[in-house]
Amino acid sequence: MLIEDDPELALVLTGYLTKHEMEVIGAEDPYMGLSLLTQEKFDLVILDLTLPGMDGLEVVSKIREKSDIPIIISSARDDLTDKVIGLERGADDYMPKPYDPRELVSRIRTILRRTSVGEKKREEEALLFRLDEKSHTIFFKETPLELTAAEYDILSMLVRHMNGSVSREQLLYESEHIDDSSSVKNIDVMVSRIRHKIAKIDPDRSYIKPVRGIGYMLTDRR
């Protein structure tokens, strides 16, 4: 997506990017660009700052309210303040005009490589533990874990708080299938059983880590 109100520059950039096997859809004003972003899937936005009806910095904020799509600001405004604000509001890069289109191609490819790696990693992490609430089943690496009702309560809570700590008390009192009169030490016993069941599938890593003085954390990090 190219949001640029200078038709000559838009034509030049579109032609050059097309030669480098990039499909470009242009928008002459920010409202059209924001509307198109809700209707179609784009890989990246090239955004001018001086636009009719809405400043480009405000456009960055509006895009970030709904999307994490990469944004490259392409602007004749070379004020450092604009650059700082643009990056603080979520832009990924800032290119002051004029610039060589070859540099734009290079920066686009760099950003897309980085985001592609990030998306692949998130997909892999999402598949690590998958929670199916309808069947009350938790899959680890797409293999269903054989859990008791209480173990399901504990692990599902840890899955929902992935990479964040959960206290023993929270695991105890927010679990539907654990008696409130149970000791927090019972939580340790059940967590140990869950670890053992996970280890049957992957014995090389410990996914449930103790958090000293608090409780436990389910992690997808090494």
Structurally, the chain folds into a number of domains equal to 2
∠ CA 181-161-205, nearest 5°, is 95
Residues 121 and 137 grouped into a single domain: no
Domain boundary pick from 67, 95, 125? 125
Least confident stretch, 41-45, 94-98, 112-116, 161-165 = 112-116
For the entire predicted model, the pTM comes to 0.55
151 versus 162: the higher-pLDDT residue is 151
Residues 160 and 82 grouped into a single domain: no
18 versus 176: the higher-pLDDT residue is 18
Residues 91 and 140 grouped into a single domain: no
Q: Which domain holds residue 184?
A: 133-218
Tokens of 58: 């405000």
Domain boundary pick from 125, 153, 181? 125
Q: Residues near 51 by Cβ (< 8 Å), separated by ≥ 6? A: 3, 5, 29, 30, 59
Residue 96 has pLDDT above 90, yes or no: yes
Give mean pLDDT, residues 128-136: 89
Residues 65 and 112 grouped into a single domain: yes
Residues 89 and 179 grouped into a single domain: no
Residues 6 and 81 grouped into a single domain: yes
Residues 40 and 119 grouped into a single domain: yes
Residues 144 and 66 grouped into a single domain: no
**pLDDT-above-90 percentage for the chain:** 72
Domain boundary pick from 73, 107, 125? 125
User: What tens digit of pLDDT does each residue of 39-62 get?
Assistant: 999 999 999 999 999 999 999 999
Number of Cβ within 10 Å of residue 127's Cβ equals 13
- At 124, the pLDDT band (50, 70, 90 cuts) reads low
The CATH number given to whatever domain includes residue 16 is: 3.40.50.2300
Residues 21 and 109 grouped into a single domain: yes
Number of continuous H segments (helices) and E segments (strands) in the chain: 8, 11
